[in-house]
Chain A
């Protein structure tokens, strides 16, 4: 460990076990309040849905609330809420998760429910049709019926990725959603929802031996199945800058998104890129905020991310580092891109100073702690980190190494990473033209 790791960094207890059927179990006790989060992460997301069935992974997630061998439609939701809990599921690029946050007296019930769900959906055509309508309304409210709805996440990935797994619209085209059948549901379940392709995570008010015993009781006799075939989600190195534009008929002001491909997850360069994000775009002290907001007054805020559907730790690469701004007509996209390049170029030429790098590390440390203590669903933030590291790096306890990985980044590595990944030829510029009068 180098001098700049902190005793105040994320450090949590992690207990890991693999059941006979291949299901991985990750436990992290936190006895400070009588609350527990139970989650199952399946290693399949938008990227692996079948061609001709865009949006299917997400539709499938909805269907997993519609009925199971022991529960009728909505019975799971009612059971969770009747016992004082809350629940959700989500579909991301590389995983689909299902979770309950419950008062800890309901731990065993939550495990039973997730084990029941893992045994497979039992649904009718009427339920499929109902959730198809619900999902279409989700797409309408989040994408179609609002300005900037697909900007930039769907718009950008459709244009910059060359591999279908990464480029297609994971929310789905309406025709593809219409084509989804009960046969598709069974095939998708059989391929991806096996115990060996999943991780059970329990975080909160638990005693590990006891929780592990319950996990065995409910999950271990779920039949093993072969792991799904490997998929190639790789992208070639980008050699030339690309520019795109589209008109949004609902938008009243132009907007701009600028994306760069990231280094591979888990590499030293990946952590250096995480610190470049902190330096350039996280917070009011960041270089891009200072340049675009404070000095030039081009925009009111700079919004940047390393993952459209989360953060740098909860997806596999390929990913994009993207900066998004909404601006006025009297500022051009070129002016903004040039101003950004004016801030980025020096990082390719000179090692960053020690004080700025240390501040970036501190911001990354605090950001990780905020992620881990996510409050909409108590204990879910840490659950999600543990699930991602178990699925993508094979060991959930690596969440405890993140601070050291950032600490190991040198000023020279930051410069080398900026040279390769913040090259103008690795850049993608998407201009949104405003189609609505303001």
Chain B
């Protein structure tokens, strides 16, 4: 027989890994965190420009530019730049969202200063040669075609459109005929107008020579234009109980997003909302997942999350369910939301969820890349280190009544937007009871 189950001693007091913050030329900043034991440095040059800065008639101009960033710098052509990075163990990753474009590279620890030099060279002087423009546009059209075949992307785009309309966060699907207006010159002008030292934050985590890195950053950024400060953006999200249906004849599953605007990370209740989300649908052992996966078998990977932008956020449950149980899945999901709104969770259930959220935070603070994600999150929402320092205490302070109250205030089923990609002929009748259908 196995010995009895051991008890778990309390989590030791957790200390955040120290962050070293330094000023760089022109108002740029650097944040350095030494972490881990493997000899790798994770480096991100985070620049405050993103899809929200693109004109309404030029959706994906930002993606066109990201592809263009692989075509070299004023000092090196595409192959020379890629080879220089490869020789130190790196490859360029361009990652972007509505407000941030990140030039990232992971390199062997010994080469961190050289990598910083290459990233700053790229940020201040992409080459934007004329010659590959047509090829990049062909690639962009293909990328769009491939995206449109993915039900998950379609349901996301439909949900965004419903929530934000023609405001920047709602502009997910481009009109390919507009790609013809994308040129090398437009790419260069947009990049010059929306970047600069004032919008730049260098982030490092892992193992590296900090002095060498800072020296390379100072040299690399010295003399680059400061640029305009990033403009603010006020967005009005709108949600009503409507099913936005995209017909996908023959689909074996219905791909859904169900959600509603909620408080953003600067709100005092935001951490309690994260705990509420984990209990309801965010964790594997959460209520919705236990119900529609582990009890009913309707789906493989249901999940809820809180998606955030500055001053804006929404809660969303995402699931791919077998076509013939599309209606029953909606029934169960709304049933779980209603149950939480009607009755506070037990202290026992909530204590487990608090520990899960707290432990997840500790683990993210132990991973170099998750550490950098956290720094970018703080930046985006204008939060400082006190957010991280007080996080665990705020998680542990969440009460059952807080959870019920947040579910009542924030997760209002009567105003939830539903985006559904599925076989209309098979699901229309099933879903009709859950809201007016708009195709």
Contact = CB atoms under 8 A, between A and B. Distances in A.
Interface of A: 6-10, 30, 32-35, 69-70, 73-74, 77-78, 81-87, 101-103, 105-106, 108-109, 112, 115-116, 119, 129-138, 140-141, 144-147, 217-218, 250-253, 282-285, 289-290, 294, 297, 299-300, 326-328, 358-359, 362-363, 365-367, 369-370, 372-373, 375, 378, 382, 436, 438
B256 to A, nearest CB: 12
B362 A103 contact: yes
B299 interface: yes
Contacts of B55: none
8 contacts: A33-B365, A77-B284, A105-B8, A105-B10, A130-B295, A137-B320, A253-B146, A284-B79
B231 interface: no
Nearest to B207: A8
A363 B40 contact: no
A210 B320 CA distance: 44
Nearest to A367: B89
B290 interface: yes
B355 A285 contact: no
A375 B299 CA distance: 26
B9 interface: yes
Interface string B79-106: 1001101111111100000000000001
A116 B2 contact: yes
Query: Which interface residue of A32, A137, A138, A369 has the most chain B CB atoms within 10 A?
Result: A137
Nearest to A360: B86
A112 B90 CA distance: 40
Q: In this complex, which of A103, A115, A362 has the most chain B Cβ atoms within 10 angstroms of its Cβ?
A: A103
A105 B322 CA distance: 40
A81 B283 contact: yes
Given A82-B351, A284-B91, A375-B367, A252 B358 contact: no
A72 to B, nearest CB: 11
Interface of B: 2-3, 5-6, 8-12, 14, 17, 35-40, 67, 70, 78-79, 82-83, 85-92, 106-110, 132, 134-135, 138-139, 142-143, 145-146, 148-151, 206, 251-253, 255, 283-285, 290, 293-301, 320-322, 351-353, 355-356, 358-360, 362-363, 365-370
Contacts of A282: 91
B142 A328 contact: yes
B3 A297 contact: no
B363 A35 contact: yes
Contact of A137 (B142, B322, B359): B322
A365 B106 CA distance: 12
Nearest to B290: A74
A365 B2 contact: no
Q: Which of B17, B89, B301, B360 has the most CB of A within 10 A?
A: B89
B297 A373 contact: no
Given A86-B360, A300-B67, A366-B107, 20 more contacts: A70-B2, A70-B5, A82-B353, A102-B359, A105-B12, A106-B8, A109-B6, A130-B295, A134-B294, A145-B255, A146-B150, A283-B82, A283-B86, A297-B135, A366-B89, A369-B40, A369-B108, A373-B36, A378-B363, A382-B38
Nearest to B351: A82
Contacts of B12: 34, 105
Contacts of B79: 284-285, 290, 294
Contacts of A82: 285, 351-353, 355-356
Contact of A134 (B6, B40, B107, B300): B300
The 8 closest A-B pairs by CB, nearest first: A84-B359, A366-B89, A133-B297, A300-B139, A33-B366, A82-B352, A284-B82, A285-B82
A373 B138 contact: no
Given A112-B6, A134-B297, A438 B145 contact: yes
Given A109-B5, A326-B142, A84 B290 contact: no
Given A32-B36, A328-B138, A81 B285 contact: yes
Contact of B294 (A33, A73, A106, A438): A73
Contacts of B367: 375, 378
A300 B2 contact: no
Contacts of A294: 78-79, 132
B151 A146 contact: yes
B298 to A, nearest CB: 7
Contacts of B362: 34-35, 84, 103
A33 B9 contact: no
Contacts of A141: 253, 300-301, 320
A294 B82 CA distance: 12
A373 B107 CA distance: 12
Nearest to A283: B91
A137 B321 contact: yes
Given A86-B363, A133-B297, A33 B356 contact: no
Contacts of B38: 10, 369, 372-373, 382
Contact of A284 (B78, B106, B301, B365): B78
B146 A252 contact: yes
Given A137-B253, A283-B91, A366-B89, A131 B297 contact: yes
Contact of A365 (B89, B138, B296): B89
A131 to B, nearest CB: 7
Contacts of B132: 294, 297
A30 B39 CA distance: 13
B253 A366 contact: no
A359 B87 contact: yes
A92 B173 CA distance: 36
B39 A130 contact: no
B142 A138 contact: no
Given A32-B37, A86-B363, A144-B252, A137 B3 contact: no
Contacts of A300: 67, 138-139, 142-143
Nearest to A284: B82
A71 B86 CA distance: 49
B253 A145 contact: yes
A371 to B, nearest CB: 10
Nearest to A278: B86
B5 A112 contact: yes
Contacts of A299: 139
